[in-house]
Amino acid sequence: MKKLPVGIQSFRKIREENYIYVDKTKEAYELVNNFTYVFLSRPRRFGKSLFLDTLKELFEGNKKLFEGLYIYDKWDWDEKYPVIKISWAGDLRTLEKVEERAIDILKSNQKRIGIECENLENPSSCFNELIQRAYERYNQKVVILIDEYDKPILDVIEDIEQAKLHREFLRGLYSIIKDNDAYVKFAFLTGVSKFSKASIFSGLNMLTDISLNPRFGNICGYTQYDLETTFEPYLENVDMEKIKRWYNGYNFLKDNVYNPFDILQFISNGYLFRNYWFETGTPSFLIKLIKERNYFLPNLSNLVVDDKILSSFDIEQMDLEVLLFQSGYLTIDKVIQNELLQSIEYSLRIPNLEVQISLNDYIIRYLYHGDTKIKEPLIKSLYFGNLNDFKDALMRLFSSIPYTNYVKNELNLYEGFYASVIFAYLSSLGIKIIGEDVTNKGRIDLTLFVNDKIYIVEFKVDGKKGEALRQIKEKKYAEKYLDKSKEIYLVGIEFSSEEKNIVNFEWEKIER
């Protein structure tokens, strides 16, 4: 069997050294033949760098590397183009470091193309010179490939003023591409985030964003078909449905896809279900935003955003949902045509079990500092329908949250805080949850689906005793699920802001 390309982003190495390659040259062919300036946003570790390197080998005319692939008999191999490749890496925490890295990148390109810049100390001037001299030397237009275009900003995203300095530098550097339009054959930029054109792409307003173009929805990632064909020999006797639940589910308006990093790690680590992708990058900045904005976590299970929100964000006004989507912690569930506003909206969801469990585990540890040992009695109580045990576990949970989580704020006065804590704990168990579950009579705070049981949960803080359960019954929330052949439990949970814990817990099982 072919070797697994774990951590390999070199197309040449994969092809020459007999590694598995999932053919993306059809997408490459369609891309090059339909666009000149292209932008692609995908979460980290999704195969962007390998695709970009594939384009490099393609434009340099390395025909032998493409034998047996879709594009092999369709490409004009007699045409070869000079390629300038920019890939940000290393320490980029200061503007000086970014400028030094830019100079190193440009030096590397000069050596590979066989050109020397006269003004090397000014990255923008050198970049401009490099494009024009490459065109003159080879009598061919230049191809420009930029990987992780946003890394110099994202590396300092918690320091807004520093991020602005890096943004201004990149804006000036990337504007050189537009200034040299007459010399450019093709330009392709990739990154995790999509900054608005006004903030970083003001000099590249001709850039076509294919991030949510259905034609290129599978440009990165592995499809189910890939797993059942290319990876079939590696996945014999493995529970494919469990693999799908754990690692599939990312959607960019075509098929649901897997993050390649997860699949390669899963196979090479002996088929252990672990959070391979999640543990390669901690979402500390996102957790900080969730805390600062007192974000209502159940929204993550039932979120609708408009097209403009998903397309970009700015340093000065960062939208949490946009960051979660672009970082890969949320993905597209479905497209909604809003006929009233004549606009497109997207329903978002957490993509799979890996992200659901890992993200909420992280929130529990670093946001609530809660006791993770409570998770086992929580899931057991719900699995077996032992609601008194569920109450005891919840009371232990809130007792375990440090007092410092409540001081200097009024979190304990709001139902949303208690709902968010419970949501995080239960989501970290892989339970299917709907927050703000809509019925024809109102919204259920949380609906839980555990084994053959449905739990309809309502929260109240400092209210009248019995108010939570009474609301569930008066608004007939359970009617929505009466056609399901499952046991249905109504659960009213009431908190005291003074005691910071449950003061009343009532439940009923619907008899049918």
Report pLDDT for 407: 46
> Cα–Cα distance between 288 and 326 in angstroms, integer?
17
| Cα→Cα distances 10→14, 107, 289, Å | 6, 20, 36
186-235 per-position pLDDT tens digit: 999 999 988 765 567 666 677 899 999 999 999 999 999 999 999 999 99
Averaged pLDDT, 77-97: 95
Looking at every residue in the chain, the average pLDDT score rounds to 92
Is 42 in contact with 48 (CB distance < 8 Å)? yes
In the chain, count of helices (H) and strands (E)?
Answer: 18, 16
> Cα–Cα distance between 110 and 112 in angstroms, integer?
6
Give φ, ψ of 53 to 5 degrees: -70, -30
The pLDDT-based confidence of 185 (bands split at 50, 70, 90) is very high
444-456 per-position pLDDT tens digit: 999 999 999 999 9
Q: Which two tokens stand for residue 448?
A: 């839980």
Report pLDDT for 512: 67
The pLDDT-based confidence of 89 (bands split at 50, 70, 90) is confident
Is 197 in contact with 312 (CB distance < 8 Å)? yes
Q: Which two tokens stand for residue 392?
A: 């005891």
Spatial CA neighbour of 379 closest among 438, 453, 325: 453
> Cα–Cα distance between 228 and 233 in angstroms, integer?
9
Percent share of the chain, pLDDT over 90: 77
> Cα–Cα distance between 41 and 28 in angstroms, integer?
15
Number of C-beta neighbours around residue 493 at 10 A: 26
| Cα→Cα distances 285→151, 289, 358, 437, Å | 15, 6, 15, 28
Strands across the sheet containing 222-223: 222-223, 256-258, 250-251
125-172 per-position pLDDT tens digit: 999 999 999 999 999 999 999 999 999 999 999 999 999 999 999 999
465-508 per-position pLDDT tens digit: 999 999 999 999 999 999 989 999 999 999 998 888 999 999 99
Spatial CA neighbour of 306 closest among 295, 328, 321: 321
Residue ranges of domains in the chain, CATH in brackets: 11-216 (3.40.50), 222-280 (no CATH), 286-509 (no CATH)
HSE, CB side, 13 Å, CA atoms: give it for residue 234: 21
Residue 69 has pLDDT above 80, yes or no: yes
Annotate 30-60 with b (16+ C-beta within 10 A) or e (fewer): ebbeebebbbbbbbbbbbbbbbbbbbbbbbb
Residue 381 has pLDDT above 70, yes or no: yes
- Is the full-model pTM beyond 0.85? yes
Q: Which two tokens stand for residue 158?
A: 């918690």
Spatial CA neighbour of 150 closest among 187, 96, 191: 191
